[in-house]
């Protein structure tokens, strides 16, 4: 005999916590007209940039019960996993890697954690499918519906007591679980995240123009990066935490679970310098990025990012490798970024002629007095 809905829901949530998920909430599958309209407005404005897959899957994203997802879906179990840890500036020196990417790739790990949950649901005759950022679903919208948190002005899901440095996982099921109650948005008049964005990517609260977002530029965008945006990238090699690091909801200390494997930063970030990305061939990059999110931009994307970072924060000692990349790199995108970086460093380090002339005048004056 199947357990009552409340009992099964409690069993699922308890198992989720035992598996390592920090938070679990349930949403009832219902139409998403308002969320679908916001998505279409965002796409129509072109804010998705070159992420064509967002437009191609818009219909599916708006319907979790779409045949391409789970046609008999009745409930969505939403799970949150914190990833923030004690090395917020970890990364190649000079350069920074976003917190979520400093550890091992999270996709396989979190997907494996969902297996016992799916087995439990299937044992009770329900179908179930897991999503770890791998299906066309509106994860943030479902997190809000499941009462996990609210959408902050930085467009991230904020879970009170946990923050926004977290990964979302969905388990879509035909089981009719007991839904949770959504909570209200709590940002108030705060706009720290909006003001902290180095490239001005927020069109309005909760509306992000991905084409200006450093995370998009360093991870998703495959071509050259506009000159006007390069300086704003600062020292970010992969991703960006600027709008999250200033959020008051992220001021708590990381838990022991967040500091331990698999969320701890990998030692490899301390083993190489940013300019080493410009020296790597495809095989070297493949070995370096294996089992990490840094594989997504590919060698050329990461070399492009490294060149821009060096152009922003590098010095004369980086000119030789940049000059070599500008002349010989197989990717025209990398060659262009390296040339830009050379110009930036040379302009920054070129002696100021008026200062030199003043120094010479003082030396001559001192010599004349001494004579």
Place of tokens 């500036």: 89
Whats the size of the chain, residue-wise?
A: 371
C-alpha span between 371 and 368 (Å, rounded): 5
Residue ranges of domains in the chain: 5-84+102-173, 272-361
pTM over 0.85: yes
Residue 191 exposed, middle or buried by CB count within 10 Å (0-12, 13-18, 19+): middle
Of 15, 142, 126, 150, nearest to 77 (Cα)? 142
Which residues pair with residue 162 across a beta bridge?
none
Q: Is 226 a catalytic residue?
A: no
Distances (CA, A) of 188 to 15, 94, 185, 191: 35, 36, 8, 9
Return per-residue pLDDT of the chain as tens, 371 residues: 456 778 999 999 999 999 999 999 999 999 999 999 999 999 999 999 999 999 999 999 999 999 999 999 999 999 999 887 655 454 566 788 898 888 888 898 999 999 999 999 999 999 999 999 889 999 999 999 999 999 999 999 999 999 999 999 999 999 999 999 999 999 999 999 999 999 999 999 999 999 999 999 999 999 999 999 999 999 999 999 999 999 999 987 666 655 555 667 777 766 778 899 999 999 999 998 988 888 999 999 999 999 999 999 999 999 999 999 999 999 999 999 999 999 999 999 886 545 555 555 555 665 555 55
CATH of the domain spanning 272-361: 1.25.10
- Fold assignment, 5-84+102-173: NADH Oxidase (3.40.109)
Of 106, 105, 125, nearest to 173 (Cα)? 125
Catalytic residue among 133, 286, 356, 360: 133
Of 90, 361, 358, nearest to 239 (Cα)? 90
């Amino acid at each position: 005999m199947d357990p009552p809905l409340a009992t099964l829901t409690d069993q699922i949530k308890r198992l989720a916590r035992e598996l390592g998920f920090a938070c679990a909430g349930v949403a009832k599958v219902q139409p998403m007209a308002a969320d679908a309209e916001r998505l279409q407005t965002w796409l129509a404005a072109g804010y998705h940039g070159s992420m064509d897959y967002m437009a191609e899957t818009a219909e599916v994203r708006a319907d979790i019960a779409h045949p391409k997802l789970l046609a008999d879906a009745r409930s969505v179990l939403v799970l949150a996993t914190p990833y923030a840890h004690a090395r917020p500036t970890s990364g190649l020196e000079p350069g920074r890697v976003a917190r979520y990417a400093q550890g091992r790739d999270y996709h396989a790990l979190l997907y494996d954690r969902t297996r016992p949950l799916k087995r439990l649901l299937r044992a009770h005759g329900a179908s179930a499918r897991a999503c770890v950022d791998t299906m066309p679903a509106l994860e943030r919208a479902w997190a809000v519906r499941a009462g996990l948190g609210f959408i902050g002005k930085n467009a991230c899901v904020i879970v009170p007591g946990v923050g926004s440095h977290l990964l979302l996982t969905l388990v879509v099921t035909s089981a009719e679980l007991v839904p949770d109650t959504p909570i209200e948005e709590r940002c108030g008049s705060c706009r720290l995240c909006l003001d902290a964005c180095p490239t001005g990517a927020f069109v309005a609260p909760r509306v992000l123009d991905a084409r200006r977002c450093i995370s998009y530029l360093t991870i998703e965008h495959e071509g050259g990066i506009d000159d006007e945006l390069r300086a704003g990238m600062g020292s970010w090699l992969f991703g960006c935490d600027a709008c999250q690091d200033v959020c008051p909801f992220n001021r708590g200390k990381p838990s022991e679970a967040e500091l331990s494997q698999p969320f701890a930063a990998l030692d490899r970030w301390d083993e190489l310098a940013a300019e080493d990305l410009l020296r790597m061939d495809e095989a070297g990059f493949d070995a370096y990025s294996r089992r990490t999110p840094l594989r997504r931009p590919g060698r050329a994307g990461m070399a492009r990012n490294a060149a821009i970072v060096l152009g922003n924060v590098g010095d004369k000692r980086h000119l030789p490798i940049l000059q070599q990349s500008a002349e010989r790199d197989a990717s025209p995108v990398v060659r262009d970024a390296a040339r830009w970086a050379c110009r930036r460093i040379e302009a920054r380090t070129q002696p100021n002629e008026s200062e030199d002339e003043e120094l010479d005048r003082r030396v001559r004056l001192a010599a004349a007095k001494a004579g």
